Amino acid sequence: MGLFNKFKNIFKKKEETTEIIEQEEIKAYDKGLEKTRKEFVNELSILGHKYTKVSEEYFEELENLLIMADIGVKTVMKFMNDIRNRVKKENISDTSYLQEVIVDELFIIYVNGESLSDKININNDGPTVILMVGVNGVGKTTTIGKLAHKYTKEGKKVMLIAGDTFRAGAVPQLEEWAHKTNSIFYGKENTDPAGVIYDGLLKAKEENVDIVLVDTAGRLQNKTNLMKELEKINKVIGTHIPNAPHETLLVIDASTGQNGILQAEAFKEITNITGIVLTKLDGTAKGGIVLAIKESVNIPVKFIGLGEGMEDLKTFDIENYIYGLFKDMINDGK
């Protein structure tokens, strides 16, 4: 069992690490995924006690359990097919051993033989422009604020540009985040977003800004209008700074479950999404959405929200994620 044993070694190292930053990250994932772990892994363990031998009844209950974790019906069907094939091929009859195969296959869903980078594409020649998209109410503005905090703390010069110009209160709300995070701000209300972004980027270049975070409108009701607006914004950004935006991050509220998948699919149709930010992952037992998003839209998760604090937006790490989900189960198997 290559991957499972690999994980055991990874978890052992994680639990024994003396590096303070790494310890904090592990604790954040551990605490943030607690609800999903309690619901999903506990149920999986109960299932293993209920059925000691692999059977059709076991498969049916496992399938329901995976769907309840919000991994998504399409992903679950493929996953169950892979599990059945491995059971047949490797002649597996013991459900406790099969749990190891389940961890293996869930990891494979995310990695899938590819090297999906969770790293932000940094521009080494001028400002790095990160365009933030997502429907209203998912925590987009707060996420921008937390990213600004992260980058200013790293010693970067950060600018926030308010491209959501027509939503009441959106511009002052972003300006407040700029003050909180010691970032430069540019924005005007009730005017063409592309024009505001154009002027904001001029200022960013003049001020030698390192990171520019651009807010945008979150109206998905009329996809055609939003597509045109984002096309115009992308054109303006590219005119100012070649190959920009360097990232277009879609913010999704993890607690909305399958609705979040629909949002990802809709936004993928209208603009080039390079990464996902999953907010409020700590407040839901549906942590499987990370796997569902990867399987549905094949876009890497780049950040996850594991709490309300400024420090609780974490760079996504697949090993820490698997650790946060399965540490109890793997520790039981030590």
Give domain limits for the chain. 2-114+323-332, 128-317
Residue 216 — pLDDT band, cuts 50, 70, 90? very high
CB 35 within 8 A of CB 285: yes
* pLDDT for the residue numbered 326: 79
* pLDDT for the residue numbered 97: 85
Give the Cα separation of 132 and 282 in Å (integer). Answer: 21
Residue 38 — pLDDT band, cuts 50, 70, 90? confident
| pTM of full prediction above 0.85 | yes
CA angle (330 as vertex; 327, 334 as ends), nearest 5: 130
CATH architecture of 128-317: 3-Layer(aba) Sandwich (3.40)
CATH topology classification for 2-114+323-332 = Four Helix Bundle (Hemerythrin (Met), subunit A) (1.20.120)
Q: What spatial distance separates the first Cα and last Cα of the chain, rounded to whole Å?
A: 14
Q: Do domains 2-114+323-332 and 128-317 have the same CATH topology?
A: no
Residues pairing with 126 in the sheet: none
* pLDDT for the residue numbered 11: 65
Mean pLDDT of 143-154: 97
* pLDDT for the residue numbered 8: 67
The tens digit of pLDDT for each residue in 313-325 reads 999 988 888 888 8
> Taking Cα atoms as reference points, which of 280, 125, 30 lies closest to residue 289?
280
* pLDDT for the residue numbered 5: 64
* pLDDT for the residue numbered 14: 66
* pLDDT for the residue numbered 2: 53
Residues pairing with 211 in the sheet: 128, 158
* pLDDT for the residue numbered 305: 93
Mean pLDDT score across all residues of the chain: 87
The tens digit of pLDDT for each residue in 264-276 reads 999 999 999 999 9
Residue 177 — pLDDT band, cuts 50, 70, 90? very high
* pLDDT for the residue numbered 42: 82
> Taking Cα atoms as reference points, which of 171, 174, 164 lies closest to residue 135?
164
Residue 74 — pLDDT band, cuts 50, 70, 90? confident
* pLDDT for the residue numbered 143: 96
pLDDT at 334 over 60: no
